[in-house]
Amino acid sequence: MSAPAYGLDADLAAKQAAAHDPELEKQVCDWVAAVSGKPQGDASMADWLHDGQVLCALANAVKPGSVKKVNTGAMVFKQRENITYFQKFCRDCGVPEIAMFGTDDLFDAKNMNSVTKTINILGGCIQTHVPDFSGPKLGVAVEASVKDGKRAGGVATQSGGLTGTMEVQKLTQGKREVAGGTNAAVKSGAGVTADAAGLDADLAAKKASKYDKDLEATVVKWIAAVSGEAAPSDKSVADWLKSGQVLCRLANKIKPGSVPNINTMHTAFKERENITYFQKVMRDFGVPESQLFGTDDLYEENDMGTFIRSVYNFGGAVQNSPQGASLPKLGAAVSHGMSGDKKRASGTVNQYEAMQRNMEVERPKNTGITAGADAGK
């Protein structure tokens, strides 16, 4: 017998149960099956739509090419990605943000009522936003649009603040206009343009400026030469290496046994674990922490430039190892160590004498004052 739920979880569960409309859910499921061509069978709505593939098929049936690549794997992040593709399709069809379900509402079945309502609204929006679609209809036509024209004027700048983008309501008190005063530019928003593209754009520009295609080709050639595995022509460098298996085999070619157990499962946490194994090997060969790439730099392709430079530094560090003599060379030999810190080995300080034993004390110098004092006696 399952334990009863108490507190907030019980309240939420009760609210969702009260709001559940089985008739609406059936209408939505029947429509999704009819449009997508994917029958529901005996599965629940949550299990049927969980991986997002049926929803992507629905989007492509309504508007071909809406989802260019539907993920068919069993990996969690790929299934969640399918759901985000469908959510984008909903927004493109005019479903307002306030009516959108969250990814976890479907993937973790946290709120299937929200999923049902969103798809029902999508059916109405399709009738007005996709007039070429001649398939089955769901619900009533919905004319939904996001009235956000002011935002198209730009984003806030460091110097101008929001003066060029904020909406100002004109209020009058007798002859005096209190909202914006006599500043026409503030009142209308015209004539003031934003000159900032945002933090994301700045970061993307910095990454692009650091990326070196020639260096990438050199690193890829070295990985292939050492590991004996040629880079596939139909994959990007990130797709080739993101599972971490090639990198782990590369490490074992350089120093056998560096990675005792390479994960071969195509699951996110196992592939990321492979990458951390390779990062440990890099540290063991002397690559400093400041030159190591982050796991997401490769796995999520957050910064491939940093990843390529990190492997390039690894190639230099390998050259100083006993194994490096017989391997193809990558870059210049790199060594890293903490030298010039011998005083620290002389002992530790304790609670009472502080650093008296370890401090260097300069003795007072004879400056001639004593001689002057003697002369005056």
Domain membership of residue 8 (yes or no) is: no
Place of tokens 């030999």: 333
- Written as six digits, the tokens of 248 are 């782990």
Note whether residue 64 is domain-resident.
yes
Residue 347 forms part of a structural domain: no
Q: Is the domain of 318 the same as that of 255?
A: yes
Read off the CATH number of the domain in which 113 is found: 1.10.418.10
Domain assignment present for 261: yes
Spatial CA neighbour of 219 closest among 79, 333, 100, 330: 330
Number of structural domains (the chain) is: 3
For residues 234 and 186, membership in a common domain is answered with: no
CA atoms within 13 A on the CB side of 332: 3
pLDDT by position in tens, the chain (length 377): 444 545 556 666 666 667 778 899 999 999 999 999 999 999 999 999 999 999 999 999 999 999 999 999 889 889 999 999 999 999 999 999 888 999 888 998 888 988 999 999 999 999 988 989 999 999 888 764 544 444 445 555 555 555 555 555 544 444 444 444 445 544 444 444 444 456 666 666 666 666 688 889 999 999 999 999 999 989 899 999 999 999 999 999 999 999 999 999 989 999 999 999 999 999 999 888 888 999 998 999 888 888 999 999 999 889 888 887 888 998 877 765 544 444 555 555 566 655 555 565 565 655 555 544 454 44
By residue count, the chain amounts to 377
- Domain assignment of residue 280, given as a range: 212-326
Same-domain status, 179 and 87: no
**Percent of the chain beyond pLDDT 70?**
66
Residues 174 and 247 reside in one and the same domain: no
Contact 286, 256 (CB under 8 A): no
Q: What is the pLDDT of residues 146-171, one digit of tens each?
A: 444 444 455 555 555 555 555 555 44
127 by Cβ neighbours in 10 Å (0-12 / 13-18 / 19+) ranks as middle
Q: Model's pTM, two decimal places?
A: 0.40
